[in-house]
């Protein structure tokens, strides 16, 4: 079939193709499989959300593949945008092509980035904005990298799943920041689980027990100038509406690996948690959740942000014939295995895979799987906050929880109270 293409399709230039792809993704549907020559063509990238993670992601993107240019940036705050730009100029100076008229600030900055001629965008604003930014990016015909998590409430997750399906129809690539999926060590270990090397899965455990992150966040202290909406947006990890709490923002990595290994999402959960030492914001500092998956598989989940406690960040899957410590790339039991190959930087590899998919005209789409893994975390948080057990189908389809503020503007914004199990309602 490839030899029977029309002369017009064969003569389609690489530059024309990627321009068309960025506008609508329609040309990809024509069946063209290879449109770039050894990565020689430029891919223009826009950054939406210029915090620390977004800045690191852009540097990884540039380092992952030749021909990547940073051409547009948007953030809620001008100083964050400038700090990010300064970092790019230091670390990847040849890739920085951001003209002054393509640096946008404010709540609508993402819209203006999407109006530029970028081919793909990185969505790295705080998680509250993920669903809105993702929908707008796909409607604008842009390929997408979006950081984890996929949102902070069921309303946002439903939106992300719908948008991921829309992106699939438009043949746009979507890669998520659950970078363990791009690790060779993880891939080989999970493949063996799926091949039955540990037998039938009967249980699993996931952990993100680490230190408090306050020391990394300089905006926590309020001042006469810094308060309300601005204060909460700058200090976003410490508020549920902006971050989803650390079970959602951080532990989603481990929960994603467990969904991947089990090849399903939970059917119900019951969780608990609280604030043992934390006295900032309205998030918890520890959670423990039991998830039940299909076929009666029980999964234990722990996450904690308390300095001075034992750290453990890991995923473990138990089968009838062995145990897989997925984070270590080790299987013990009847058919032991230890991964000893190379394992390139996952942050760079996920970007390389995304860029390759765009250049090859073979879109990949991780939107739904990331949204479902985020929903694991959200329903675990909802259970812990309320003290109620709940089912996946209810949380995904019936919950009306929407953590959005009443309006998006700087000024007063009361901090919502810390949730109390047995008193906080299940919505």
Q: In terms of residues, how long is the chain?
A: 427
Distance CA 75, CA 49 (A): 5
Distance CA 332, CA 313 (A): 19
For 150-174, b/e burial (b = at least 16 CB within 10 A) is bbbbbebbbbbbbbbeebbebbbbb
Residue 38: its pLDDT value, please?
A: 41
Residue 225: its pLDDT value, please?
A: 73
Beta bridge partners of 424: none
The structure tokens listed for 381 are 């948080």
> Residue 62 in 3-state DSSP?
helix
pLDDT, block means (10 residues), the chain with 427 residues: 38 40 39 40 96 96 97 97 97 98 98 98 98 98 98 98 98 98 98 98 98 66 80 94 98 98 98 94 97 98 96 98 98 98 97 97 98 98 98 98 96 96 98
Distance CA 35, CA 406 (A): 46
Name which of 315, 293, 328 is nearest 188 in CA terms.
Answer: 328
Residue 26: its pLDDT value, please?
A: 37
Distance CA 67, CA 61 (A): 10
Residue 213: its pLDDT value, please?
A: 72
CA-atom Rg of the chain in angstroms = 22
Name which of 156, 189, 175, 148 is nearest 49 in CA terms.
Answer: 148
* Half-sphere exposure for 29 (CA within 13 Å, toward CB): 9
Q: What is the DSSP string of 182-242?
A: G-HHHHHHHHHHHTTTT-SEEEEEEEEEE---GGG-TT-S--SSS-HHHHHHHTGGG-HHH
Residue 3: its pLDDT value, please?
A: 40
Q: For residue 57, how far is the Cα from the chain centroid?
A: 11
> Residue 425 in 3-state DSSP?
coil
Distance CA 144, CA 255 (A): 22
Residues 6+ positions from 76 with CB-CB distance below 8 Å? 105, 106, 107, 109, 125, 233
* Half-sphere exposure for 370 (CA within 13 Å, toward CB): 33
Are 149 and 315 in contact by the 8 Å Cβ rule? The answer is no
Could you tell me the pTM of the whole model? Answer: 0.90
Beta bridge partners of 235: none
Structural domains of the chain in order of their starting residue, each with its CATH number: 2-180+351-366 (3.40.50.720), 184-341+373-397 (3.30.360.10)
């Amino acid at each position: 079939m490839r030899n029977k293409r029309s002369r017009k399709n064969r003569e389609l230039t690489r530059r024309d193709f990627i321009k068309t792809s960025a506008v609508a993704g329609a040309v990809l549907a024509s069946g063209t499989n290879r449109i770039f020559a050894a990565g020689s063509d430029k891919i223009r990238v826009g950054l939406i959300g210029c915090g620390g993670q977004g800045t690191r992601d852009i540097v990884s993107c540039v380092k992952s593949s030749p021909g990547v240019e940073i051409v547009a940036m948007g953030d809620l705050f001008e100083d964050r945008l400038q700090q990010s730009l300064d970092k790019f100029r230091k670390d990847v100076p040849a890739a920085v092509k951001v003209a002054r008229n393509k640096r946008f600030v404010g709540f609508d900055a993402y819209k203006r980035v999407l109006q530029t001629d970028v081919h793909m965008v990185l969505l790295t604003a705080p998680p509250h904005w993920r669903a809105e930014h993702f929908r707008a990016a796909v409607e604008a015909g842009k390929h997408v990298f979006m950081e984890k998590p996929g949102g902070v409430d069921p309303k946002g997750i439903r939106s992300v799943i719908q948008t991921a399906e829309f992106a699939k129809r438009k043949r746009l690539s979507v890669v998520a920041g659950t970078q363990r999926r791009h690790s060779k060590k993880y891939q080989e270990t999970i493949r063996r689980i799926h091949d039955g090397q540990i037998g039938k899965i009967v249980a699993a455990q996931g952990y993100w027990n680490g230190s408090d992150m306050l020391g990394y966040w300089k905006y926590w202290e309020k001042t006469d100038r810094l308060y309300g909406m601005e204060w909460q947006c700058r200090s976003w990890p410490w508020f549920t509406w902006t971050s989803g709490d650390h079970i959602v923002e951080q532990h989603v990595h481990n929960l994603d690996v467990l969904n991947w290994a089990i090849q399903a999402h939970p059917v119900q959960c019951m969780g608990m948690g609280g604030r043992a030492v934390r006295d900032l914001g309205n998030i918890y500092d520890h959670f423990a959740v039991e998830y039940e998956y299909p076929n009666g598989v029980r999964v234990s989940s722990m996450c904690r942000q308390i300095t001075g406690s034992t750290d453990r960040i890991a995923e473990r899957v138990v089968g009838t014939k062995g145990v897989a410590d997925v984070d270590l790339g080790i299987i013990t039991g009847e058919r032991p295995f230890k991964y000893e190959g190379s394992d390139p930087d996952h942050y760079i590899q996920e970007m390389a895979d995304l860029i390759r998919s765009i250049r090859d005209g073979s879109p990949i789409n991780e939107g739904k799987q990331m949204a479902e893994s985020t929903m694991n975390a959200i329903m675990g948080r909802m259970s812990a906050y309320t003290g109620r057990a709940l089912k996946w189908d209810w949380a995904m389809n019936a919950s009306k929880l929407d953590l959005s503020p009443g309006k998006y503007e700087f000024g007063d914004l009361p901090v919502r109270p810390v949730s109390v199990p047995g008193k906080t309602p299940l919505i």
